[in-house]
Amino acid sequence: MMAFGELTTYAYRLLEDDIDTDQIIPARFLKVTDSNGLGAALFADWRYLPDGRINPEFVLNQPMEHPANILVAGNNFGCGSSREHAPWALVGFGFRAVISTGFADIFRNNALKNGLLPIQLTEKTYRQLLAYLDETEDAWMKIDLANQQLVLADGQQLDFPIDPFSKTCLLEGVDEMGYLLQLGPWIDAFEKGHTALGLEPGL
């Protein structure tokens, strides 16, 4: 998993509320058990016409002057059934973060485990961000994960929450198992200390 420190980039906007995991990646693409190539299936029913051609009206098919690695989404993003394929597809397309006023809990957890940062803003802060995107010609933004801020080109700094464990994993580029493996030497030393005192390991 790629470490997430600071990211300066642009954003796509897909502002509909209640975008569910079946819209993010339709069920017919769930047969695969790894993330390779799933970016092509992201929002497949919206990105492609029934005959398979690109839908030129869909926002992700619009030409962008700069790379855009953030998706600004509507409320309750990632609702519906649990499928890890949803963050796989978003990451495979090139997104590093999704910004919303609310995420489904299962989607949020799956995203964090796969290196995708779900940034939840208050309604007020979210409206500030949308106004900035509407009114600013060169509307880049910087995600400063260490300080839990979105830094905008006009100087605004928008705070966002994240739990400390998920933040550490993202900053170090490890998943939960990788984090535990990093603790191996300390766990070994702790158990050796217990053994030296005549205690059973784990007590």
Looking at residue 28, the DSSP 8-state letter turns out to be G
| Domain count of the fold of the chain | 2
Q: Clarify whether residues 139 and 194 are in a common domain.
A: no
Residue 177: the pLDDT is: 59
Residue 195: the pLDDT is: 55
pTM for the whole structure? 0.87
Q: Which of 29-38, 107-116, 176-185 has the lowest mean pLDDT?
A: 176-185
Residue 126: the pLDDT is: 99
pLDDT digits (tens, 9 = 90+) for 97-125: 999 999 999 999 999 999 999 999 999 99
For 74-140, where are the E strands, in sequence order?
Answer: 97-100, 117-120
Residue 193: the pLDDT is: 56
14 pLDDT above the threshold of 80: yes
Q: Clarify whether residues 34 and 21 are in a common domain.
A: yes
Residue 192: the pLDDT is: 60
Mean pLDDT, residues 132-142: 96
Q: Clarify whether residues 148 and 184 are in a common domain.
A: no
- At residue 13, the 3 state secondary structure works out as strand
pLDDT digits (tens, 9 = 90+) for 50-79: 999 999 999 999 988 899 999 999 999 999
Q: Clarify whether residues 142 and 193 are in a common domain.
A: no
Q: Clarify whether residues 191 and 94 are in a common domain.
A: no
169 pLDDT above the threshold of 80: yes
Q: What percent of the chain has pLDDT over 90?
A: 76
Tell me the C-alpha distance between 126 and 130, whole Å: 6
Q: What phi and psi values does residue 15 have, to the nearest 5 degrees?
A: -95, 5
- At residue 26, the 3 state secondary structure works out as coil
Strand partners, 79: 20
| 1 is a domain residue | no
Q: What percent of the chain has pLDDT over 70?
A: 86
Q: Answer yes or no: are the C-beta atoms of 85 and 111 closer than 8 Å.
A: no
Q: What angle do CA 41, 111, 43 make, to 5 degrees?
A: 20
Q: Mean pLDDT score of the chain, rounded to an integer?
A: 90
| 191 is a domain residue | yes
Q: Which of 19-23, 98-102, 172-176, 181-185 has the lowest mean pLDDT?
A: 181-185
Strand partners, 10: 68
Give the distance, in angstroms, between the CA of residue 15 and the centroid of all CA atoms in the same chain: 16
Q: Clarify whether residues 133 and 201 are in a common domain.
A: no
Q: Clarify whether residues 108 and 142 are in a common domain.
A: yes
| 109 is a domain residue | yes
| 44 is a domain residue | yes
Q: Clarify whether residues 161 and 194 are in a common domain.
A: no
The residue among 21 and 201 whose pLDDT is bigger is: 21
Q: Clarify whether residues 41 and 16 are in a common domain.
A: yes
Q: Clarify whether residues 199 and 113 are in a common domain.
A: no
Domain range for 201 is 174-203
Q: What is the CATH number of the domain that holds 117?
A: 3.20.19.10
| 39 is a domain residue | yes
Q: How confident is the model at residue 196 (pLDDT cuts 50, 70, 90)?
A: low
Residue 32: the pLDDT is: 80
Mean pLDDT, residues 154-160: 97
